[in-house]
Structure 1
Amino acid sequence: MFTRRNFLGTGLGALAVPALAACSRSTGSAPAGAQLLTATDVHVADYPTVTAVKWIGQQLEHKTGGRLKLRQYHSGQLGRESEAIDMARFGAIDITRVYSGALNNAFPLTQALCLPYVFESVAHMRRALDGGVADAVLKGFETRDLVGLAIYDSGARCFYNTKHPIVEPKDLHGLKLRVASSDIFIQLMRLLGANPTPMSLGDTFSGMETHMIDGAENNMRSFHSSRHFEAAHYWSQSDHSYAPDVLLMSRQSLEALTPADRALVIETARESVTVMRQQWDASENTARQAVADFGITFNAVDMPAFRKAADPLLQRYLQQPALAALTRRIRDFA
């Protein structure tokens, strides 16, 4: 079986990676002549991004009569997102879903999707992505052995913690908050007075239980599926970012397909955005009700105060012409 340990043991060696890629495609019950694609995600089996990619696999298998199949490794079976990006680049896996914040350094245009208070709402974000912003960002992956297949939205990112409600930025002062390994989010937390602690999603629950950290920032769906609400009982609706997810494919893997199959994979991935959004909307409502039933304390925040506190970071990034231009396009859809 192709596992994270198998992969990491190679040290990403140039000779070992092609062998692993071949191994991953030959496993399973695919009929002779069929091609088995692999996909990975750190989220659990019923998470909307996972179910959307599962839908892609079902469509590919149906439309090709079983010639194209897809196997998923969800729940972080093959490691963290940073490792998944490298595995896709080297062709050891075919498809991965990655949080856009993890892509900011290598793919600068993704920064526009993560900046604080650029999007006004989920509806605004979806209008912007569908209006050409997604295409502009996805095109930027062509330079790094990856193909941008689709952008999946990921709801509003908010604060939750084990201590108290957060109403004003000053309420964050001194709190140790888990953030993804993203310069934007690290800088934002510092600007707001918190102590950012980069940490994987999988380590966050134990981090709160052992008091290594006091809380985190994430969307409602992840707050629920990761069981973080069992440790952090205060949810503050800051909506400070709507940073979406990106579905990526190894360029090597895509080019190994026939031209017709390449077009089919790309088309099906784009179609899966609608599937993902439907799943997201339904499951986010369910998640919110579940954590409310658990007894989580919800509160609104002083939104003007948060916007004002975050603005210096936004203005600093907008000094980059490409980011400023893309952000203006986003704002046009507000």
Structure 2
Amino acid sequence: MNFVRNGMLATTAALGLMVGAAQAAEVTLKLGHHVPAEHSTNREYAQYFADLVGDLSNGEIEVHNYPGGQLGGQRDLLEGLELGTVDMTYADLGVIANYDLALGVLDLPYVFDSIDHAYRAMDEGLLSAVQARVDKATSFHVVGMIPVAFRDTLLADKDVETLDDLKGVKIRTPQAPVLIDTFRALGANPTPIPSGEAYTAIQTHVVDGMEGHKEFIYAIRVPEVAKHWVETKHNLTFNLLNISDITWNRLTEKQQATVMEAGKKAGEHFRTANAEIDDQFRQKLKDEGVTFSTPDLKPFREATAPMVESFVKDNDASDLWNIIEKTR
């Protein structure tokens, strides 16, 4: 009898564990993005967010993170959000600006004085304003936003000491309207190419170089084929963490609140973790033989100022611009 009784108890316990496991996996979400697994925005933001959702929901919501373009490039993933084939992604704000050009005001050249300025603006209404615009223009919802780093320019065969040195230079950019217009205003020849093809495009002289921030360019190994870093600091990269409306509407109010809380906490964590990353990767680039030049940026700002003024006016972006100016 004891053997039977103990066996029944063991079976009951096992069934209980199976039921508990089923309940723990009540919601499973796919989070895909383009950034390599070793990149800080994956480690300290996307994966941190995924782990935090599991903790805050007591295992009820499970987020599977797919870095490095496993589920597609940025545009593919954003389209997947709209179709409901992907639950979540994070992408450059400049790419999301294809849905609402006014969002590109955050990508305008030389509009943020520092990353601290960006955080002040976010805290004082910029994040809410971006969320409202994305909600209106797309079929996905912004869970969080982070300023990552200022973008510079890396060239294969030449240094840039003055603005004139950029004239006619072919620069790889993402498919981001404001970045494309920025390099046109600087006299260069912007060429949109997916980030996964940037290395080969430089190696085969399809383009002369690319723009971006230090860690990302280092992570995709471009310094193997380009050694001249120009500190143009032409814009500040923002990443937006997004969830498909189709997925969002499947969640309960409690689950939605959990996802948003995790997004907020992940952003706070990244703010702390990101503080030293830019300097670390400057040194890593130097160790790879990359040389740095720092041109006088006043002519760069002057060359792009008319573009900034026109952009704000032509794209009805004064709501976003006013917050940036107020917090300068």
Q: If the length of structure 2 is used for normalisation, what is the TM-score?
A: 0.89
2:131 corresponds to 1:164: no
Q: CA deviation at 1:188?
A: 1.8
Q: 1:134-149, aligned counterparts within 5 Å?
A: 134-143=127-136, 144-149=138-143
RMSD: 1.6
1:43 to 35, 49, 64: 35
2:208 corresponding residue in structure 1: 214
Partners in 2 of 1:87 and 1:123 — Cα distance? 33
Partners in 2 of 1:147 and 1:321 — Cα distance? 21
Q: Does the 8 Å contact 1:150/1:270 carry over to 2? A: yes
Q: CA deviation at 1:177?
A: 0.6
Change (3 A) 1:245 1:330: same
2:312 corresponds to 1:318: yes
Q: CA deviation at 1:81?
A: 0.2
Q: CA deviation at 1:321?
A: 6.9
Q: CA deviation at 1:232?
A: 1.2
2:100 corresponds to 1:110: no
2:288 corresponds to 1:307: no
1:187 to 158, 162, 181: 181
- Unpaired segments ≥5 residues, structure 1: 1-29
1:251 to 245, 248, 251: 245
The C-alpha deviation readout for 1:104-162, integer Å capped at 9, x for no partner, is: 13123311111111111112112111221111111112122110111111210111101
The C-alpha deviation readout for 1:222-274, integer Å capped at 9, x for no partner, is: 12111111111111111111131111110111111111111110111011112
Partners in 1 of 2:129 and 2:325 — Cα distance? 15
Partners in 2 of 1:306 and 1:80 — Cα distance? 31
Partners in 2 of 1:109 and 1:319 — Cα distance? 10
Q: CA deviation at 1:83?
A: 0.4
Q: Does the 8 Å contact 1:109/1:137 carry over to 2? A: no
- Residue range with higher mean Cα deviation, 180-189 or 231-240: 180-189
Partners in 2 of 1:326 and 1:285 — Cα distance? 30
Q: Does the 8 Å contact 2:80/2:86 carry over to 1? A: yes
Q: How many residues align?
A: 305
Partners in 1 of 2:312 and 2:53 — Cα distance? 40
Partners in 1 of 2:166 and 2:248 — Cα distance? 45
Q: Output the amino acid matched with 1:88.
A: L
Q: 1:61-80, aligned counterparts within 5 Å?
A: 61-80=54-73
Q: 1:214-253, aligned counterparts within 5 Å?
A: 214-253=208-247
Partners in 2 of 1:95 and 1:321 — Cα distance? 27
2:21 corresponding residue in structure 1: 31
Q: CA deviation at 1:287?
A: 1.4
Which ranges of 4 or more aligned residues in structure 1 deviate by more than 6 Å? none
2:220 corresponds to 1:264: no
Q: Does the 8 Å contact 2:90/2:241 carry over to 1? A: yes
Partners in 1 of 2:69 and 2:100 — Cα distance? 23
Q: Does the 8 Å contact 1:115/1:314 carry over to 2? A: yes
Partners in 2 of 1:142 and 1:48 — Cα distance? 27
Q: Does the 8 Å contact 1:49/1:152 carry over to 2? A: no
Q: Output the amino acid matched with 1:279.
A: A
Q: Output the amino acid matched with 2:35.
A: H
Q: CA deviation at 1:208?
A: 0.7
2:6 corresponding residue in structure 1: none
Q: CA deviation at 1:324?
A: 2.6
- Structure ID, larger Rg: 2
1:56 corresponding residue in structure 2: 49
Q: If the length of structure 1 is used for normalisation, what is the TM-score?
A: 0.87
Partners in 1 of 2:272 and 2:221 — Cα distance? 22
The C-alpha deviation readout for 1:303-331, integer Å capped at 9, x for no partner, is: 11100111121121121373133212102
Partners in 1 of 2:147 and 2:86 — Cα distance? 23
Q: Output the amino acid matched with 1:109.
A: A
Q: CA deviation at 1:171?
A: 0.7
